[in-house]
């Protein structure tokens, strides 16, 4: 059991994708269900978004801010959490799995504020553990119009875990990305 809270972000408009990404089906499951199941060992699990789709059978939390950026999901998560550690996970990363989550969880120490993966030449801020002690810093960043999770991760006392060119961190923003992910899944079977 991971003594932390999982927050899966579904809040984006999905303009480039054309429909809610969390509903896309991969290997027989929606992206949301796929991620939810991969993270079944968390003490608490929630879905965070702008609108409650109504047909969810999962605990839902409305974004606290109208701002359309991943920092909104982090802010909302930290405002609502009851655990010290919190895992932020976006539906943009449908191939995320329990092995990565467990590796990140095992890397944390008492002296850090975040554990963030670095994969495919970028910080993966929407697949990271954050300690609730950073809430005031997240609020300050928002008040200063600094919405990048990458810059927040750089300013925190964080551990960055290197995953190289790992397909599990493929970002799904368009239907073309989705087709590429489906092709990859088919090749793995």
Give the pLDDT mean for 54-72. Answer: 88
188 Cβ partners below 8 Å, 6+ apart?
A: none
Query: Are 8 and 48 spatial neighbours (Cβ–Cβ below 8 Å)?
Result: yes
Residue 66 has pLDDT above 90, yes or no: no
pTM equals 0.94
CATH number, domain containing residue 24: 3.90.550.10
CB 113 within 8 A of CB 133: yes
- The pLDDT of residue 47 is 95
Distance from C-alpha of 46 to C-alpha of 81, rounded to nearest angstrom: 10
How far is the C-alpha of 5 from the C-alpha of 78, rounded, in Å? 10
Classify residue 81 by its DSSP letter: -
Q: Where are the beta strands (DSSP E) in the chain?
A: 2-9, 25-26, 29-30, 42-49, 60-62, 85-90, 114-119, 122-123, 127-131, 158-164
Q: Which domain holds residue 63?
A: 2-188
Q: What is the per-residue pLDDT across 129-181, written as a single tens digit (0 to 9) for each?
A: 999 999 999 999 999 999 999 889 888 999 999 999 999 999 998 999 999 99
Residue 164, CA distances (Å) to 17, 114, 122, 170 in order: 26, 19, 9, 12
Is 189's pLDDT higher than 80?
A: no
Count of CB atoms situated within 10 Å of the CB of 120: 15
Q: How many domains does the chain have?
A: 1
């Amino acid at each position: 059991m991971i003594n932390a809270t999982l927050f899966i972000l579904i809040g984006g408009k999905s303009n480039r994708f054309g429909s809610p990404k969390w509903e896309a089906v991969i290997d027989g499951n929606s992206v949301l269900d796929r991620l939810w199941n991969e993270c079944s060992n968390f003490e608490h699990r929630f879905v965070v978004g702008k609108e409650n789709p109504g047909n969810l059978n999962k605990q839902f939390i409305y974004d606290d801010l109208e701002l359309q950026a991943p920092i909104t999901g982090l802010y909302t998560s930290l405002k609502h959490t009851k655990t010290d550690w919190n895992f932020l996970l976006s539906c943009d990363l449908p191939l995320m799995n329990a092995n990565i989550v467990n590796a990140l969880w095992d890397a944390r120490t008492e002296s850090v504020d975040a554990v963030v993966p670095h994969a495919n030449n970028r910080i993966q801020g929407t697949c990271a553990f954050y300690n609730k002690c950073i809430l005031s810093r997240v609020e300050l960043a928002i008040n200063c119009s600094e919405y990048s999770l990458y810059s927040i991760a750089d300013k925190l006392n964080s551990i960055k875990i290197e995953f190289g060119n790992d397909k599990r961190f493929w970002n799904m923003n368009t239907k073309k990305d989705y087709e590429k992910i489906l092709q990859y899944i088919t090749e793995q079977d």
